[in-house]
Amino acid sequence: MYDREKRKNYYEKNKEKIKEYQKQWKKKRRFTHPHEAIRHNERIKRYHKTEEGKAALKAGHLNVTAKRRSQRGRVSKEDILKLWEIYKCERCDCQENLQIDHIKPAMHGGLNVGENLQLLCVDCHKEKTREELGIPKLKVEQEEDIQLELKI
């Protein structure tokens, strides 16, 4: 008779072994049934073209980057979809070249979570990063001077 509890216990006790077995089985299956693997890859490719799939990719990318710089937290595809619903730069309202920004940056202890994300256009993003790094903005005249110097 099927004993759910017993089965669960067995799984818990032999978790690693079972997982390894399944991994090997999948590996073998890829060779014996290559069409399945191709169909699987195509399904994933199609998924990544949908709005949801794109959001999942973006979330994964953010999570990998966060981990690399020891930033805590995890974002989900739902977090990204929520951002895309607004779809405009938080600073200047434009809708071009939008990027995802951590409102409180990682270097100031900001977490990699949905509530700490916003969309900024490339220019506003650069501007914000400059502010965070404490680099003063060049005055227009100074910029003009540099332009002149470059021309000479």
Site for Zn ion, rule CB under 5 A: 89, 91-92, 121, 124
Give the integer Cα–Cα distance in Å for 38 and 36.
5
In the complex with Zn ion, the residue whose CB is nearer, 53 or 84, is 84
- For residue 102, the minimal CB distance to Zn ion (Å) is 16
In the complex with Zn ion, the residue whose CB is nearer, 55 or 89, is 89
**Structure-block tokens of residue 45:** 């490719």
Instruction: Choose among 94, 106, 39, 33: nearest CA to 67.
Output: 106
- For residue 127, the minimal CB distance to Zn ion (Å) is 8
- For residue 124, the minimal CB distance to Zn ion (Å) is 3
Helix (H) or strand (E) holding 124: helix 122-133
In the complex with Zn ion, the residue whose CB is nearer, 86 or 92, is 92
- For residue 103, the minimal CB distance to Zn ion (Å) is 14
- Residue 94 gets which letter from DSSP? -
In the complex with Zn ion, the residue whose CB is nearer, 111 or 121, is 121
Helix (H) or strand (E) holding 69: none
Single-letter amino acid, residue 4:
R
The CA R_g of the chain, rounded to the nearest whole Å, is 24
